[in-house]
Amino acid sequence: MGVMERIKEIEAEMARTQKNKATNYHLGTLKAKLAKLRNELFVEESGGSGSSGGEGFEVARNGDARVALIGFPSVGKSTLLGALTTTQSETAAYEFTTLTCIPGVLQYKGSKIQVLDLPGIIEGAAHGAGRGKEVIAVARGADAILIVLDAGKEGLNRHREILEKELETVGIRLNQRPPDVTVTKRMAGGGVRFAIKNLILVIPLEDDLIKQKMWEYLGLTRIYTKRKGSPPDLEEPIVLSEIRKGILVKSLCANISTQMLRDFNYALVWGKSAVHMPQRCGLSHKLDDEDVVQIVTKTIKQQANSSGYAMLAQEYQDKHAKKRLAAKKQKQKRLGG
């Protein structure tokens, strides 16, 4: 099913769902899914998921995390992008084959990780050499950076040392938390060398090890939600990230909707993070991968006793009064015309 079809399906479900306290959580989840799909549609329509593009390097953010591939020209970044995603970036035996930022989407364990193949940079990039400042600016906005090296020439070229120095010059500190990850190209065969804390593993490009290490480094966590009296939704997990907004119950509520966070009462949690199942938790509870969470919102009486409730109620009334006034004016205009 395409993105547009899924958007229409969710919109239809929202339209036939009656809005009340019992359905607030369900509607909030649908709104979050709808926002995510609309963002994906925007990226597709703007050419963000293909190999075409203009001269600019910036790409609309998409997915649950973003990883930038950094390296000297013609070291295998485009080949790695093609192996991890379905995106094909131009490759050739000469340098500077990639002249703009080529994005791809890696789908792994229910998550979508945006992978950016950036143009090759050279020594002096931090000071503008070879449009290096523009490339590094995009890398700065990524959740993780993978340095791609030519393993056969690294001992002579010292590209890793140069790249780390260039990134540190503009304030990007690599490997500040484990694991220490570097991806390098192997000279022969269909594989890469994956350096993890001084351990060198030679693996085929199609192996899931690179994807697994990216998943671990990004701190991605799948959370399955459930409604009272219903089984959990195991089709589409909500993916949280330690690097972005955290993996607390508060992060989950904020991911669904601001209203969910505002009306939060407590959460029931099943899974590895729970001491017993279900465990009643507050906003500060840290979730674990594949936990199942049911959010229980405040009752009407509890909401009425909350600080700021009167102001929210007044804002709600003012908003609907403006809508009614606008509808009345529009009707009078039609009748007058």
Distance CA 85, CA 279 (A): 38
Are 181 and 195 within 8 A, CB to CB? yes
Residue bearing tokens 């080529």: 102
Three-state secondary structure readout of 35-84: HHHHHHHHHHHCCCCCCCCCCCCCCCCCCCEEEEEECCCCCCHHHHHHHH
Predicted model pTM = 0.63
- Report d(CA 81, CA 101) in Å as an integer: 12
Name which of 245, 326, 280 is nearest 64 in CA terms.
Answer: 245
Per-residue pLDDT tens, the chain, 337 aa: give them.
677 778 788 888 888 888 777 777 787 788 777 777 766 654 554 444 443 333 456 677 888 899 988 888 878 888 888 888 877 655 544 344 445 788 888 989 989 999 998 888 777 766 666 667 778 888 888 888 888 887 777 777 788 888 888 887 777 777 665 444 555 555 544 454 444 333 344 445 555 788 888 888 888 999 999 998 899 988 889 999 988 889 999 999 998 888 888 889 999 999 999 999 999 999 999 999 999 999 998 887 777 777 666 677 777 788 888 888 888 888 888 877 5
Phi, psi of 230 (to 5 degrees): -120, 155
* pLDDT (0 to 100) of residue 335: 79
Specify the pLDDT at position 54.
36
Whether omega for the bond prior to residue 119 falls within 30 degrees of 0, making it cis, is no
Q: What is the DSSP letter of 246?
A: B
Helices vs. strands in the chain: H and E counts, helices first: 11, 12
Both tokens assigned to 170: 């503009």
Please state, in angstroms and rounded to a whole number, the distance separating the CA atoms of residues 288 and 222: 8
**Residue in this structure with the two tokens 């390097």, named with its chain if needed:** 57
- Look at phi and psi of residue 124 and say left if phi exceeds 0, alpha if psi is from -120 to 50, else beta: left
CB atoms within 10 A of CB 175: 14
Tokens 């907004």 identify what position? 245
CB 84 within 8 A of CB 106: yes
Confirm if 256 and 240 have CB atoms less than 8 A apart. Answer: no
